[in-house]
Amino acid sequence: MFTVLTHQPCEQAGLKALYRTPAIITLVLLLVSVVILVSVTLIQIHKQEVLSPGLKYGIVLDAGSSRTTVYVYQWPAEKENNTGVVSQTFKCSVKGSGISSYGNNPQEAPKAFEDCMGKVKGQVPAHLHGSTRIYLGATAGMRLLRLQNETAAKEVLASIQSYFKAQPFDFRGAQIISGQEEGVYGWITANYLMGNFLEKNLWHMWVHPHGVETTGALDLGGASTQISFVAGEKVGLNTSDIVQVSLYGYMYTLYTHSFQCYGRNEAEKRFLAMLFQ
Ligand SMILES: *[C@@H]1O[C@H](CO)[C@@H](O)[C@H](O)[C@H]1NC(C)=O
Ligand SMILES: *[C@@H]1O[C@H](CO)[C@@H](O)[C@H](O)[C@H]1NC(C)=O
Ligand SMILES: *[C@@H]1O[C@H](CO)[C@@H](O)[C@H](O)[C@H]1NC(C)=O
């Protein structure tokens, strides 16, 4: 079974057809972004931290090719087998288009964040601002800009970095994630939301669900599309597309591939070009 992740609803007729085609595909229109995983991963990396009671917060900016979305996540300080049980508590869409559209005026890029960042400050208790990590992950739009003009891409990121360094949060970086990372995050998000990693038992404790299989994920972004699924014993898959992830004490071997330029916007462009011919 496959789950389709879309970053935003798509109104274009050309894509409606694309959506309807494969009957085996379960359509899940996600309000939650792919990047929930970035926080899951971050939490894993920082497992050496001393456990303290109470809630922790994390902020993720998903800088897609068509827009940037800010997410606030929260989780109990106590982890389950080294991975946090994360929930999304707030979401804010940054006005205007994606950060890759600021290639000609990089210093303008962070201005659009102000509105959402003001709201985010109200969502996280003030005494936790300094210890709350904030992270920006840019996807295919910035990967394309980097191919076109690397200097411009660097300048956009640098301008965003200096903006976040002046914010009260613990800034952990603004970077362009690879298509492979994006695919893995999409797979984790889909399976996390479907409860394939964790479930509550009769005693309200988190346990690994018995006999549950994971779902494959198709992530239709603006400028790229990712496919990811548990590879199992399948032969003939390109080994450079195989990734291992460890979640809640379990190891998963994934096949993941990103098709650059096969996103929604690119599909629309091709569809229009076809119509004009
Ligand atoms: C690349 O971007 C930089 C900074 O915006 C600009 O000065 C330069 O002219 C651009 N180069 C090309 C080839 O467009
Ligand atoms: C943690 O790992 C143990 C041993 O592998 C397993 O029995 C348990 O279900 C795991 N907990 C969760 C929440 O996955
Ligand atoms: C495997 O993937 C790598 C990197 O994407 C590529 O260079 C290589 O040609 C691929 N090999 C095959 C057999 O498709």
pLDDT in tens, 147-205: 999 999 999 999 999 999 999 999 999 999 999 999 999 999 999 988 899 888 888 88
Among 139, 222, 146, smallest CA distance to 176 is for 139
* Bridge partners, 91 (sequence order): 71
Residue 22: per-residue pLDDT? 37
User: Which SS3 state, helix, strand or coil, does residue 221 take?
Assistant: coil
Category of 249 on φ-ψ map: left (φ > 0), alpha (ψ -120 to 50) or beta: left
Nearest ligand (C-alpha, residue 81): 2
Nearest CA to ligand 1 atom 14: 149
Nearest atom within ligand 2 for CA of residue 250 = 5
CA distance 94 to 69: 6
Q: How far is CA 58 from the centre of its chain?
A: 13
User: Which SS3 state, helix, strand or coil, does residue 58 take?
Assistant: strand
User: Which SS3 state, helix, strand or coil, does residue 80 take?
Assistant: strand
CA distance 136 to 40: 14
Residue 233: per-residue pLDDT? 73
Domains assigned to the chain: 55-177 (3.30.420.40), 185-266 (no CATH)
Residue 4: per-residue pLDDT? 55
* Bridge partners, 5 (sequence order): 219
Q: Are strands 133-138 and 55-63 parallel, antiparallel or unpaired?
A: parallel
**What are the DSSP E strand ranges found in the chain?**
2-6, 25-27, 55-63, 68-76, 87-93, 133-138, 170-176, 199-200, 206-207, 216-220, 224-230, 242-247, 250-260
Amino acid in position 42: L
CA of 155 to the centre of ligand 1 (A): 10
Question: Do 156 and 136 meet the contact criterion of CB atoms below 8 Å apart?
Answer: no
CA distance 128 to 72: 13
* Bridge partners, 243 (sequence order): 254
Nearest atom within ligand 2 for CA of residue 80 = 13
User: Is residue 240 lining ligand 3, measured as CB closer than 6 Å?
Assistant: yes
CA distance 94 to 80: 33
The parts of the chain modelled with pLDDT lower than 70 are 1-53, 234-235
Amino acid in position 244: Q
Residue 31: per-residue pLDDT? 32
Question: Do 70 and 226 meet the contact criterion of CB atoms below 8 Å apart?
Answer: no
CA distance 1 to 158: 41
